[in-house]
């Protein structure tokens, strides 16, 4: 179809002009491969506007709206409640953590603790939750929170027990002794042994109701070792103690 010269003036690459009911319309087109025809074909995507001899090219109002939407800045929606809760309830702990471990390390520890507490996320998914949380505006760069970085961070913290103890001492009351306190750690041990009398049916966070016993470690900070190990029934009664360097009564 031949077009008048006053219409051809508005012909541009990746566009096509169609005559519909005596009027000329300009469309955006793109090229794609047609497997049936085995060649590239053009497909009209959207109307750009109308062409008249008197007024020339008249942009489409819908295309104007489309272009205005494309010019809008990208909006990133981040959750705020979780960060606000940690920032409010742990304000003093955050300051002490940053003063002892350094701001970069402390912020990564806070991110890890917060995401594990809120979402029980595996380490490899931590950066996803961090990116969509408001804490990413203040605590760390999401691109630097890979699973390898977090694993190396936790390993380094575990090997620097002195810094951990130093930070935990800041949580004690001001008039409390910083030399005489203990750390406790507890875990469950599954056992189907018929020779034991302390393994009973119980419950743990794995939703396992089989026979198990609870092992508690109590660490003394000055000797940097375990004071004693306590095996107990799930219901809490003490059955026997394994004495170590120092015994508690």
Q: Which of 1-5, 71-75, 123-127, 192-196 has the highest mean pLDDT?
A: 123-127
**Better-predicted residue by pLDDT, 207 or 80:** 80
In this prediction, residues 177-193 reach a mean pLDDT of 71
**Better-predicted residue by pLDDT, 245 or 11:** 11
What confidence tens digit (pLDDT) does each residue in 109-120 have? 999 999 988 988
* Residue 226 confidence (pLDDT) above 70: no
pLDDT of residue 242: 40
What are the residue boundaries of the structural domains of the chain, listed by start? 5-71, 81-169, 182-243
In this prediction, residues 169-177 reach a mean pLDDT of 75
* Residue 216 confidence (pLDDT) above 80: no
| Residues forming beta bridges with residue 133, ordered by sequence position | 79
* Residue 73 confidence (pLDDT) above 50: yes
Q: pLDDT band at 51, cuts 50/70/90? A: confident
- Residue 104 has, within 13 A of its CA and on its CB side, a CA count of 7
**Better-predicted residue by pLDDT, 248 or 78:** 78
Contact 233, 239 (CB under 8 A): yes
DSSP 198: S
Average pLDDT, the chain: 78
Contact 46, 14 (CB under 8 A): no
Contact 36, 61 (CB under 8 A): no
Residue for token digits 């219901």?
Answer: 235
pLDDT of residue 166: 84
Six-digit token string for 88: 């409010």
The residue among 216, 221, 210, 204 whose CA lies nearest residue 241 is 216
pLDDT of residue 30: 83
Share of the chain above pLDDT 70, in %: 78
Q: Which helix (H) or strand (E) covers residue 23, if one does?
A: strand 23-34
Share of the chain above pLDDT 90, in %: 6
Q: pLDDT band at 66, cuts 50/70/90? A: confident
pLDDT of residue 17: 85
């Amino acid at each position: 179809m031949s077009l008048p010269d006053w219409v051809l003036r508005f012909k541009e690459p990746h566009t096509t002009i169609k005559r519909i009911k005596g009027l000329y319309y300009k469309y955006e087109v793109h090229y794609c491969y047609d497997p049936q025809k085995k060649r590239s074909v053009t497909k009209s995507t959207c109307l750009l506007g109308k062409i008249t001899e008197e007024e020339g090219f008249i942009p489409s109002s819908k295309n104007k709206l489309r272009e205005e939407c494309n010019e809008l800045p990208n909006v990133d929606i981040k959750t705020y409640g979780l960060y606000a809760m940690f920032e409010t309830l742990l304000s003093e702990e955050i300051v002490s953590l940053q003063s002892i471990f350094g701001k970069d390390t402390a912020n990564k520890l806070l991110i890890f603790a917060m995401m594990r507490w809120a979402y029980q996320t595996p380490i490899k998914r931590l950066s996803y939750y961090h990116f969509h949380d408001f804490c990413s505006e203040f605590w760390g760069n999401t691109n630097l929170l890979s699973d390898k970085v977090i694993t190396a961070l936790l390993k380094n913290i575990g090997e620097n027990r002195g810094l951990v103890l130093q930070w935990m001492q800041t949580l004690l009351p001001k008039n409390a002794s910083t030399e005489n306190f203990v750390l406790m750690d507890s875990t469950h041990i599954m056992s189907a042994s018929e020779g034991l009398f302390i393994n009973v049916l119980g419950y743990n966070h794995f939703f396992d109701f089989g026979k198990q016993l609870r092992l508690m470690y109590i660490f003394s900070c000055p000797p940097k070792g375990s004071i004693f190990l306590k095996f107990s029934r799930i219901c809490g009664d003490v059955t026997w103690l394994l004495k170590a360097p120092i015994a508690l009564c």
